[in-house]
Amino acid sequence: MSNYDRNAPETLKLLESLFENQDFETILEIFRELHPADQAKLFYGLKTDQQEVLLEQMEIPEIADIFDELDDKQTVIAARNLPLPFLADIIDDMDPDEAADLLGDLSGQDVRKTISLMEEPEEVLPLLRYADETAGGRMTTDFLTLELEDSADSAIQYLRSTGLENDIPYYLFVVNKEKSLLGVIGLRELVCADPGQIISDIMESNVISVQAMQDQEEAARVMKHYDLQALPVLNLQNQLVGVISHDDILDVLVDESTEDIYRLASVSDSALEPDSRLFLQLKGRLPWLLLNTITALIGSWVISNFGDLFVQVA
């Protein structure tokens, strides 16, 4: 673990000084020592103008890795002032599900222009038809498929050629020519199989799946109940259209838990966003602040008037 990772507040202070001195080489060295998740944390802590300067200095794959780790609102804020051709190149390099989320948050005109500038929009376009709260809105199109007649050896060769860049390398899904889901094979089962074995003989045909239009919470429950690392998503024709990974479901659980807490407090999550209008923030917070203040005043009055009695009883 890098020292910059362990000492994020100190690192931000150091970056502040480096930005003032325009020492971009050292800034890039610091970022490149970190995991993308830690890069995103530092990036979010920078001022908006510093973020813009940093993005101008970084390579497109580096920016894509950071955008993949930021939450949706943070990504939109970081991307809003980027030239559309530059943004299109970044989105091409992002995970398809994260890229679709970003495109879905842009204005309609910017979405159309950005898609027209992308080199590989076909990976992202199918995801834009699904609402964020559905299983389809959480899935990725970046997964591996095999066919029934493939051998274990050819499947391993295929995995070697493509699997390192894949989001879901631990499961391979078996489909027919119509893309209907027929089975699934775990990476361990594939590696342990005889090289000449046919996929149809070693796959698991009883596959747990969800429909693309199902609620994301239901998908999360299915993954949790069956302890799955990945969950295939089917369309109405039972064709495999995507896969939900365990980290995407973790995001769902966090989001839903946050919403439940807000609901219990009778506060909307939009009212508590830092970038929401002041009126909405006050509207969400004031009732509870007033209640806490009144409760504290009552407690103070009781203690000041009956403190001696409490001492005697004690």
Residue spans of the domains in the chain: they are 3-132, 145-253, 271-313
pLDDT of residue 299: 72
pLDDT of residue 21: 93
181-214 residue pLDDT tens: 999 999 889 999 999 999 999 999 999 999 999 9
231-240 residue pLDDT tens: 999 999 999 9
CA distance 306 to 283: 35
pLDDT of residue 289: 72
252-265 residue pLDDT tens: 766 666 665 555 65
pLDDT of residue 62: 96
pLDDT greater than 90 at residue 164: no
- Per-residue pLDDT averaged across 157-177, rounded? 80
CATH topology of domain 3-132: MgtE N-terminal fold (1.25.60)
82-125 residue pLDDT tens: 999 999 999 999 999 899 999 988 888 899 999 999 998 998 99
CA distance 167 to 88: 21
pLDDT greater than 60 at residue 5: no
Residue 255, Cβ density class (10 Å: 0-12 exposed, 13-18 middle, ≥19 buried): middle
Q: Please check whether the two domains, 3-132 and 145-253, share a CATH topology.
A: no
Q: Which amino acid is at 299?
A: G
The pTM is what? 0.73
pLDDT greater than 80 at residue 314: no
pLDDT of residue 142: 86
Identify the CATH class of 145-253.
alpha beta
63-79 residue pLDDT tens: 999 999 998 889 999 99
Q: Are 170 and 159 in contact (CB under 8 A)?
A: no
pLDDT band at 34 (very low <50, low <70, confident <90, very high): very high
- Per-residue pLDDT averaged across 160-180, rounded? 81
pLDDT of residue 9: 79
pLDDT band at 247 (very low <50, low <70, confident <90, very high): confident
pLDDT of residue 256: 65
Kindly report the backbone phi and psi dihedral angles of residue 179, in degrees, each rounded to the nearest multiple of 5, phi listed first: 70, 15
pLDDT band at 310 (very low <50, low <70, confident <90, very high): low
